[in-house]
Amino acid sequence: MRHIEKDYSKIPDSLSNKKFQKHFTGIKSGKFKNISGDYYAANDVKEDLKSLYNNKCAYCETKLRKPEIEHYRPTSIYRLLAYEWSNLLFSCHECNLNKREKFPVSQKYDGTETNAKKLNEYEEPILLNPEIDYPKSHFKFNISGEIQGITYRAKQTINILKLNEDTLVNQRKKIIENIFQEIKDVFFDFIESKSRNKEDLQNNLKRRIKKIPQMMQMDKIFSLTV
């Protein structure tokens, strides 16, 4: 999970045009009963989220082949937030399935606020939100690939989303092992080299270390691991 800067004022056309406004008015009045993916999962919504999240899951950071639009606050509880831009995240099927309707909060809010940031001030939700929270302050990683929660919210987020599922742990472990291997290779190359020159070691180390920041770039899978 990485922090994402989303401009909540730049709402996709499918969630703001006249056709949508007519539909949403019907939802609020009770005229229309069903929440429609034609709006919250419209192509422009998907493309905007794909760009923001670098085509990765908002929660586990895996690359997405079949992305799903995730409602941070579930529509079964927050019906009027079904189309709220600040409530829509990009997700893999597994995280979306694991989360389902789970949304524990510190205190219940019965008002009419719809903006996610303001709602968070009232409710103090337990589940971390990559668009509001800074995951780097909540998580740390073991060399085994397991993610550990530093805070109570992080621990609950890991449990809710099952972020220590075997497949995820193994993929993160592989990335960590690759980093250590890069560093080991520097010293092995130096030991086996004929020159045994400190400058050669330093230059080789710099060349290999440059690969690590590349693994930390936002478009890379499990970039927070690094």
Kindly report, residue by residue over 143-192, the tens digit of the pLDDT. 888 999 999 999 999 999 999 999 999 988 888 887 777 777 767 766 66
Rounded alpha-carbon distances, angstroms, from residue 197 to 68, 181, 190, 191, 210: 53, 21, 8, 10, 20
Sign of CA dihedral 153, 159, 163, 166: positive
Higher pLDDT, 28 or 116: 28
pLDDT in tens, 59-109: 999 998 899 999 999 999 999 999 999 999 999 999 999 999 999 999 888
Q: Distance between CA atoms of 92 and 79, rounded to whole angstroms?
A: 22
CB distance 100 to 41 below 8 Å? no
Which residues make Cβ contacts (< 8 Å) with residue 43, sequence separation at least 6? 14
Q: Distance between CA atoms of 226 and 180, rounded to whole angstroms?
A: 11
- What is the pLDDT, as a whole number, of residue 222? 53
Q: Where do the structural domains in the chain lie, given as residue ranges?
A: 13-126, 166-225
